[in-house]
Amino acid sequence: MEDWSDCLDVAVQIARRAGQVVQSAVKQEKRVSSKSTPTDLVTEADHQVEELIISTLREKYPSHRFIGEESSAAGVKCELTDAPTWIIDPIDGTCNFVHSFPMVAVSIGFAVRKELELGVIYHCFDGTLYTARKGHGAFCNGVRLQVSKEKDVSKALILTEIGAKRDPATLDIFSGNMKKLLSAPTHGVRIIGSSTLALCHIASGAAEAYYQYGLHCWDIAAAAVIIREAGGYVIDTTGGPLDLMSRRVVAAGTREIADYMVKQLQPINYGRDDTDPDGLA
């Protein structure tokens, strides 16, 4: 049975290299365009970094498959098979990157037989490195991570992200969900503009729960391994098992808080990553 430890080492090296490219790109002028909606941004750096990550991994592992944010946006089918598959977000927090707002990450996940095996997330502004391999724990700069054990939602800090859809009906549901959680009352709700880094804060115990409608498989893949290995839960917003392609997630340090979130949330519909690449259905 393969333990994929060499893949983790390789992913760490590539994430650091990619992170350095992002760091220097932040200081330069950016050419920005939009994808599914005017708020779904992409820059030349996103393409450049994805190309760097995929070409380096492909050279090392020619038989492996790849799912990348920008390749998918360009029309490559987003398909998770039983084959070893790398799931890549070259720049998570592209809007932050455009504004030089310091919450930007490179995220590299890896799945085999549709099971997530490892995750690497590199914070491009401060160099923090989150890593995990299934069954071997989660780490931040080499120090073991542990989720919050808080069960009482009135003592919870909740994180979320807004997603690309901004039509009035979607925003009404989004604000309704926020209102419910704020008036629970929880300690607060935060939005930092990077799903992967927000999820890392669940793994480190800095916040108790995360939920989002509208994120993608490349936003969840690496982080799901890191949170689970830190002792946390990553599930579907209906309470069932995580469906990587469903574009929705609840993550929490304890099952009690995860269950509470599931009961509160009203869904926002996004098309699936694997069957609806435009994703706004």
Q: CA angle at residue 42 from 36 to 43, to 5 degrees?
A: 160
The Cβ of residue 182 has, within 10 Å, a number of other Cβ atoms equal to 14
- Please indicate whether residue 89 is annotated as part of the active site: yes
Which of 208, 219, 229, 273 is an active site residue? 219
The whole-angstrom separation of Cα 248 and Cα 68 is 18
Which residue's CB comes closest to ligand IPD?
161
Identify the residue among 71, 72, 85, 94 touching ligand IPD (CB under 6 A): 94
What are the residues whose beta carbons fall under 8 Å from the beta carbon of 249, sequence distance 6 or more? 210, 211, 212, 215, 220, 234, 235, 236, 237, 242
Quote the tokens at residue 46. 């996103």
Quote the tokens at residue 169. 């009906």
Per-residue contact flags (x/-) with ligand IPD for residues 30 to 69, judged by CB under 6 A: ---------------------------------------x
Tokens 């009690």 identify what position? 256
113 in helix, strand or coil?
Answer: coil
- Please indicate whether residue 94 is annotated as part of the active site: yes
- Please indicate whether residue 128 is annotated as part of the active site: no
Which of 40, 50, 69, 117 is an active site residue? 69
Of 13-21, 87-95, 222-230, 231-239, the window that binds ligand IPD (rule: CB under 6 A) is: 87-95
Tokens 């599931």 identify what position? 262
Question: Which one, 231 or 277, has the nearer CB to ligand IPD?
Answer: 277
Identify the residue among 8, 11, 78, 215 touching ligand IPD (CB under 6 A): 215
Question: Which one, 92 or 208, has the nearer CB to ligand IPD?
Answer: 92
The whole-angstrom separation of Cα 121 and Cα 11 is 9
Backbone angle region of 205, left / alpha / beta, with phi > 0 → left and psi within -120 to 50 → alpha: left
Per-residue contact flags (x/-) with ligand IPD for residues 216 to 255, judged by CB under 6 A: x--x------------------------------------
Evaluate whether 274 touches 251 at the Cβ level (below 8 Å): no
Evaluate whether 160 touches 202 at the Cβ level (below 8 Å): no
* R_g of the chain, CA atoms, integer Å: 17
- Please indicate whether residue 40 is annotated as part of the active site: no
Per-residue contact flags (x/-) with ligand IPD for residues 142 to 161, judged by CB under 6 A: -------------------x
- Please indicate whether residue 259 is annotated as part of the active site: no
Question: Is residue 273 a contact residue for ligand IPD (CB under 6 A)?
Answer: no
Positions that interact with ligand IPD (CB under 6 A): 69, 89, 91-94, 161-163, 193-195, 214-216, 219
Which sequence positions are flagged as catalytic? Answer: 69, 89, 91-92, 94, 219
